[in-house]
Amino acid sequence: MAINFTNLLYSQNKKSKMGDFQDLEHIDGLSISSTSANLYNHSRDDLVMFYFRRGANYASVYTQSKIISENIKWNLNLKNKKIMALVVNTRNANVFTGKKGFRDLKEIADELSMQLTEKQKEDEENPEKIKPNQILFGCTGTIGETFPKEKIKKSIPDLIKKIKHRQNKYIWMKASLGIMTTDLVPKLAMEECKIGNVNIKIYGIAKGSGMIFPNMATTLGYVFTDANLSSNILQKLLKKNIETTFNAISCDGDTSTNDMVTIFSTNKAKNHSVKNINDSKLEEFNNSLHDVLLNLSKRVAADGEGASKFITINVNNSKNQEEAKKIAFSIANSPLVKTAIAGEDPNWGRIIMAIGKANVNINLNKLEIKFGTIKIIEKGQLSINYNEIEVAEYMKNEIIDLSIDLNMGKKNFSAYTMDLTKKYIEINSDYRS
């Protein structure tokens, strides 16, 4: 059963549409299509294309794993500032496929660029010749299996036939479903903002529920905006905002070979060009981009494989953010902490253990710990008001907040994770069937 964590569906920002995550609308300059390439043993969409009729500026962050997929290698080789399409397949990660896996992508890009060029001739007054190196790839699925090149190539005509130049919530939902693997629910988010006096849209989708831990981020995440922004500005904004969003989540402490988060701008909005990310005109856009990325990353963590609870870990008043991050992830990645929460056991000793193993110098006399609003540790000692029955009752909630106050500085960091249940083992032992 899909998990519905209400705090992920509503924002405190009145302008936000985080709650209406299914109701993404149209972005000028973007077309979407999805189809089944029969990559699974059952019928479902497993191939999705995002097509930019007049091109798009883009920026990406990728996995920092030393073993990466062939599609990541392909994307890193592209030097174009202008991208015409992003193609995402599920079921096959295209990892450990060697030179053949890379050549397979080249063949697909060659065929797709030719057919998209013909599509340009049909649709555009001034058609462009689309080049293979103007196509990005996203791959997700099983590692080490032969890449299904022929199935994907055979699906290209249908993918192009199904192109929808105008999006609505159903098309966005279909695309979001089409990139899922072990996910239980699609992940979509949107914000609207302004650059200067110009209205701007920021829409995003993501997939991921396992193999979730930075560094870079996790999963596949794609953000689309009609803002007029250069690739250089997009790169700086994405790098800035990824640290406290996709780099702040963990499901199982494992980093994927295929991680990528990419932002595309169609440049259809008429905002004035922005040369510096510190320009005051970008403030609202920057905040909205962060909201979209955080919304998507929380949804990924909440949909972690087998999850029954969504956990936020706030480490406050640290000497620096790096140390706060170490402690937060030491807790988030602890199987003992995650299983205790799954079992609704108020075993605060496991929190103490996880803080200690983070290898951060702290002053125990200043340490405070809370579960929700309930004080557990005060000034390095068990609170005189501690009531285990009260804490045990709190642990029954689907949303768990842990707060660790170091009282040693002014820097904070929040990490987001889920509990570890028997279902996690079942999903991953049965992953390839």
Q: Which three-class secondary structure state does DSSP give residue 292?
A: helix
Last residue of a domain, one of 267, 302, 337: 302
Q: Is residue 397 part of a domain?
A: yes
Domain assignment present for residue 17? The answer is yes
Res 12: pLDDT: 36
Question: What local confidence, expressed as pLDDT, does residue 431 receive?
Answer: 52
CB 200 within 8 A of CB 227: yes
Question: 321 and 214 share a domain?
Answer: no
Confidence of residue 253 (pLDDT cuts 50, 70, 90): low
* Cβ contact 301:315 at 8 Å: no
Give the number of domains in the chain: 2
Structural domain includes residue 337: yes
Q: Is residue 419 part of a domain?
A: yes
- In terms of average pLDDT, the best of 8-12, 13-17, 353-357, 425-429 is 353-357
Q: Which of 240, 268, 302 is the last residue of a domain?
A: 302
From 126-130, 260-264, 301-305, 324-328, the region with the lowest mean pLDDT: 301-305
Distances (CA, A) of 246 to 83, 198, 204: 23, 28, 13
pTM passes above 0.85: yes
- Give the residue-averaged pLDDT of 55-83: 92
Separation of alpha carbons 153 and 133, rounded Å: 17
Buried/exposed code over 22-61 (b: 16+ C-beta within 10 A; e: otherwise) = eebebbebbbbbbbbbbbeeeeebbbbbbbbbebbbbbbb
Catalytic (active site) residue 339: no
Is 1 within a domain?
Answer: no
Answer yes or no: is 213 within a domain: yes
Residue ranges making up the domain that contains 386: 310-429
CATH number at residue 386: 3.10.20.340
Same domain, 337 and 245: no
Q: How far apart are CA 302 and CA 154, in angstroms?
A: 36
Of residues 307 and 33, more confidence is placed in 33
Q: Check 35, 63, 140, 218 and give the catalytic one.
A: 218
Q: What pLDDT score was predicted for residue 250? A: 80
DSSP-derived secondary structure for 333-395:
T-HHHHHHHHTT---THHHHHHHHTT-----GGG-EEEETTEEEEETTEE-TT--HHHHHHHT
Q: Is-contact 330 354, C-beta < 8 A?
A: yes
Both 391 and 295 in one domain: the answer is no
DSSP conformation class of 140: B
Residues 143 and 53 in one domain: yes
On whether both 291 and 274 belong to a single domain, the answer is: yes
- Cβ 232 vs Cβ 191: under 8 Å: no
281/341 same-domain check: no
**Residue 272 sits in the same domain as residue 393:** no
Residue finishing a domain among 252, 277, 302: 302
Percentage of the chain modeled with pLDDT above 90: 79
Instruction: Name the 3-class secondary structure at 95.
Output: coil
Please indicate, yes or no, whether residues 356 and 400 belong to a single structural domain of this protein.
Answer: yes
pLDDT in tens, 303-351: 877 789 999 999 999 999 999 999 999 999 999 999 999 999 999 999 9
Q: Provide the CATH number for the domain around residue 204.
A: 3.60.70.12
Q: Are residues 257 and 353 in the same domain?
A: no
Q: Domain check: are 290 and 327 in the same one?
A: no
Q: Examine the domain organization and report whether 104 and 199 are in the same domain.
A: yes
Residues 56, 173, single domain; the answer is yes
- Residue 229 domain-assigned? yes
